[in-house]
Amino acid sequence: MDVLINRVAESGLLTIDLGRYYPDKEMVILDIKDFLFHGLILKEKEFRESLKMVDWTQYHDKIVLIQNSADAIVPLWSFMLISKYLSDEANAIFIGTKEAYLVHHFMKIVENLDVDAYKDKRVVIKGCADVEIPAQAYIDIVNHLKPHVQSLMFGEPCSTVPIFKRPRNI
């Protein structure tokens, strides 16, 4: 009787699935234009008053993406003031789009990866995620791990594309 051998399991490959690190909190947009006079002009007194009227609990434990869809010129302190209100409720506060937030989020994840766990190992960066992973995250992980790993591959352990292989010392 033939014994089935799982060559992938015995290969010593380590897999990193960036999809595991996708934010698990809801992302919502707070548009600063809603607090501007005619959606275009920031009048400090009215701006402050309108912020006081917001039910900030609606942002509890969410990732709040502050955006300015009117492209109005607003002073930096306006974002700071909004942050003052959000900081007690929101899980995270970010100025920009969802795409920009995800690049920022994954950059922090990659920077905090323990490279010692991958030292001189053969590593596969999983290619098929059920969630949207920015291309920049893949660039960041290659640059972060390349000095430490034996090899980097992209895809699934059973079907990979070689990205980097450290030359053997002769």
The per-residue pLDDT of the chain, averaged, comes to: 90
* Rounded Cα–Cα distance for residues 47 and 82 (Å): 10
* Rounded Cα–Cα distance for residues 111 and 105 (Å): 10
State mean pLDDT over 76-95.
97
* Rounded Cα–Cα distance for residues 42 and 125 (Å): 46
Instruction: Please check the confidence at residue 121 and state whether its pLDDT lies above 50.
Output: yes
Query: Would you state the pLDDT for residue 37?
Result: 85
pLDDT digits (tens, 9 = 90+) for 10-34: 457 999 999 999 999 999 999 999 9
Query: Would you state the pLDDT for residue 4?
Result: 39
Element (H, E) at 81: helix 76-86
Query: Would you state the pLDDT for residue 7?
Result: 44
